[in-house]
Amino acid sequence: ATKLLYPAIKNLAEKWKRPPKDWTAAMNQFAILFGERIRAVQN
């Protein structure tokens, strides 16, 4: 389930008109915790 969390949030974020407050901080935390998974999805 954790592997599907980031892509699901990313897909929802593209539909939002305004990014959530502090989204950059959250993405930095995700990158620290799930670095390899995030890089794999971003490529």
Give long-range contacts, CB 8 A cutoff, 24+ apart: 10-19: 10/41
Number of Cβ within 10 Å of residue 19's Cβ equals 12
Q: Would the pLDDT of 25 be above 70?
A: yes
CA distance 5 to 17: 20
pTM of the model: 0.42
Please provide the average confidence, as pLDDT, over all residues in the chain.
79
Residue 27: domain span = 4-40
Structural domain total, the chain: 1
* Residue 19: pLDDT band with limits 50, 70, 90: low
Q: What angle do CA 32, 19, 43 make, to 5 degrees?
A: 50
Mean pLDDT of 15-39: 80
Mean pLDDT of 1-5: 78
